[in-house]
Structure 1
Amino acid sequence: MLRTVLTVLRTFERNIIGLLLIVMSAGYVVNVLVRVIAPSLSLHFAWMEEATLFMLAWLVFLGLGLTLEQGRHIAMTALYGRLPAGLQRILAFVINAVGLVFCAYLTKVGYDFARFIVNSGQTSPTLDVSMVWLYAALPVGFLLLGVRYLLELVGVENRFALADRGQDH
Structure 2
Amino acid sequence: MRILDQFEKIVCAALLLFMAILGFANVVVRYGTNKSLAATEELLTGGFVLLTVFGAAIAARRGEHLAVELISDMLPAPLRRVVIVIAALLSVVLLTASVWFCWQLVLNQMGNGMRSYALGLPLWWYSAALPLGFALVLFRYIQAVWGTISGRNGKAAE
Q: 1:94 is matched with which residue?
A: 86
Q: How does 1:119-158 map to 2 (within 5 A)?
A: 119-152=111-144, 155=146, 157-158=147-148
Counterpart residue type for residue 16 of structure 1: V
Task: State percent identity of aligned pairs.
Answer: 25
> Cα deviations across residues 140-168 of structure 1 (Å, max 9, x unaligned)?
22211221233356x3x328954748xxx
Cα offset, 1:64, TM superposition: 1.6
- TM-score, structure 2 length as denominator? 0.83
Q: For residues 79 and 10 of structure 1, what CA distance do their matches in structure 2 show?
A: 33
Matched letter for residue 51 of structure 1: L
Q: Deviations over 1:80-106 (max 9, x none)?
A: 333222122111111111111111112
SS at match of 1:158: helix
Please identify which structure carries the higher helix content: 1
> Equivalents in 2 of 1:159, 1:32: separation in Å?
49
Partner Cα distance (2:149, 2:21) in 1: 34
- Cα-Cα RMSD: 2.4
Query: 1:39 aligned to 27, 34, 40, which one?
Result: 34
Instruction: Tell me the SS of whatever aligns to 2:38.
Output: helix
The amino acid that maps onto 1:35 is R
CA contact (8 A) 1:62 1:137 kept: no
* Aligned residues of 1:97 and 1:149 also touching (Cα < 8 A): no
Paired amino acid for 1:111? W
Deviation of 1:137 after TM superposition, in Å, equals: 3.7
The residue number in structure 1 matching 2:52 is 60
CA distance in 1, matches of 2:72, 2:148: 14
Change (3 A) 1:100 1:19: same
In structure 2, what is the equivalent of residue 21 of structure 1?
Answer: 16
Q: Does 1:48 align with 2:43?
A: no
- Counterpart residue identity of residue 41, structure 2: E
Instruction: Point out where structure 2 has 5 or more consecutive residues left out of the alignment.
Output: none
Number of residue pairs aligned between Structure 1 and Structure 2: 155
